Structure 1
Amino acid sequence: MERNIRGWPTNRAKLARASTLALDSQEGMFWVWHFGSTSGLCHSGFPASRTQLIIKVTADFSHQYHLSLAHLCLSMALPWALAVLSLLPLLDAGSPVCTNHTVPITKAALDRISGRWFYIASAYRYPAYKELASKIKTAFFYMTPNHTEDTVLLREYITIGDNCTYESSNLTIYRENGTLVKYENETEQFSRLMLPKDHRIYMLVAFPDDPEKIGISFFADKPEVTPEQMNQFYEDLRCRGMNKSEVLYADDKKDLCKTLEKQHEEERKAKGETERDTVLDKDVGDVGGLS
């Protein structure tokens, strides 16, 4: 069986002539098609014909398998079907999965997003958010959860134009629906927390149920991400009806805030504070288990 990697054919005639394994993460489709001998006969007397297995991966990456056996020669089709099915775990392993944005925020989730993070990219349709994102050259920030009060201390270092802007604010946590709320200019900004399998990245989605306003921002524990991590972001865009052309990217080389960050670190050290002290200062007695 010949294997090629290429896009999903839109021409059914081309598909009918194919004998391939094709992967197309953008179209969310995996398929396999194999032909037996078109001129020979099965031992049962039926003409040998095509054996078709189509594996469709839906938007949430739940699999639907379609096995069509026309004028079936079992002795030929069954081994191929078994061989194809044995490939499914490999397809799962290499495919990014759409990240759920309706998962409650647990203590473990808050611990996961604590510490230093870098803004990597974003795609927004809400005009005000899109305009702000277009001005940001790069940004990094520190998240410090307060488990007892359900808040997060956010310290942001943002490079806009030729200036470094520092902001400190408190986010309110609504655990049950996985929402973080930031109060800015007397308005509330709601974002749903999205935690992929890779613990080195996470995302925030705004207006997830409004296709005219939806926006997703992407963060990582390093200023540069791997192709796999970037593909996870792209997949989550696709899952929500967005595409790469809407993405705005950060450029860490344009960062102007490292000097100010170093100054703040020296000030905290002079006071005897550390990042870990700040994260855990409110957690006395909150030990073990997921909340």
Structure 2
Amino acid sequence: MLASLALLLGLPLALAAEPPSCARFVPVTFDNATIPGLLGQWTYIAGASRYPPHLVELKAVKHATFSLSPGSHEDELNVTEIMRLNETCVVKNTGKIQVFWHNSSLVHVDDQSVSEAKLIQSDKDLLILKHVNGNLPGLSLSARTPNVSKEHLEEFKAHLHCLGFTEEEVFFTSEKDACPLPREKTGKGGGEPQLE
């Protein structure tokens, strides 16, 4: 009886203690330096999602780079993406990211979808986004370079673990599948990217 009482009293403490890696899973609170720090070129590295439309896209994206530039007002960023979806290279410059200062979130809007995300505190050359789609978690990793350090990859995997993802649920891109830049011709079968 005493052992089961000790177990019951200790259970809430054990449940409340999160693993040390989950303690770092902190969303960024936007300030005047946050958005300028996001501007420029990024390479999409990996992602995981339980939101069905995102899962379909994750399976199709073989490589992607994107550029963020100032929009027409301070609460907006322009997005230009160059990506290989399965075997087709596509250039999209129709997307916008709305910046919501009151809850420190980013909302990506394009002709096909709307997606909300929170920026997770990390290295300035990493872009870890926790995607918000109801109760269906998602996480993505982008970086200033096509390669990330083992430590940065382990940090991302720790965040995935905190959200309950297994390694089998993570989709990585490959630099070998990079699309040629617009107007760059190659003899490969991918051809020039198509402007959407």
**TM-score when scaled to structure 1?**
0.53
Partners of 1:98 and 1:235 within 8 A in 2: no
Secondary structure of the residue aligned to 1:176 is helix
Which residues in structure 2 correspond to 1:58-77 (within 5 Å)?
58-59=17-18, 61=20
CA distance in structure 2 between the partners assigned to 1:104 and 1:148 by the alignment: 20
CA distance in 1, matches of 2:70, 2:175: 25
* Aligned with residue 248 of structure 1, among 155, 168, 171: 171
Aligned counterpart, 2:97? 171
- Which piece of structure 1 moves more, 146-155 or 165-174? 146-155
In structure 1, what is the Cα distance between the partners aligned to 2:22 and 2:51? 26
Q: State how 1:113-128 maps to structure 2 within 5 Å.
A: 113-128=38-53
Match of 2:137 in 1: 214
Pair 1:135 & 2:57 matched? no
Native 8 Å contact 2:43 2:145 kept in 1 = yes
The ranges of structure 1 where at least 4 consecutive aligned residues each deviate by more than 6 angstroms after the TM superposition are none
Equivalence map 1:173-212=2 (5 Å): 173-185=99-111, 187-196=113-122, 198-207=123-132, 210=135
Q: What one-letter code is carried by the residue in structure 1 that aligns with 2:105?
A: T
Alignment equivalent of 1:239, drawn from 153, 162, 173: 162
Note if 1:162 corresponds to 2:87. Answer: yes
> What is the aligned length?
169
- Counterpart of 2:125 in structure 1: which amino acid? R
Residue segments in structure 2 that go unaligned for 5+ positions in a row: 1-16, 186-196
- Is the 1:110–1:145 Cα contact (8 Å) retained in structure 2? no
Report the AA paired with residue 131 of structure 1.
V
Q: 1:59, CA displacement in angstroms? A: 2.8
* RCO higher in structure (CA 8 A, sep ≥6): 2
The percentage of aligned residue pairs carrying the same residue is 23
Q: CA deviation at 1:192?
A: 1.4
CA positional deviation for 1:260? 1.0
Contact 2:51 2:133 in 1 (8 A): no
Code of the aligned partner of 1:243: T
One-letter amino acid of the structure 1 residue matched with residue 47 of structure 2: S
Tell me the CA shift for residue 96 of structure 1: 8.5
Unmatched tracts of structure 1, length 5 or more = 1-57, 62-94, 264-291
Q: Is the 2:115–2:133 Cα contact (8 Å) retained in structure 1? A: no
The structure with the largest strand share of the pair is: 2
CA distance in 2, matches of 1:106, 1:232: 24
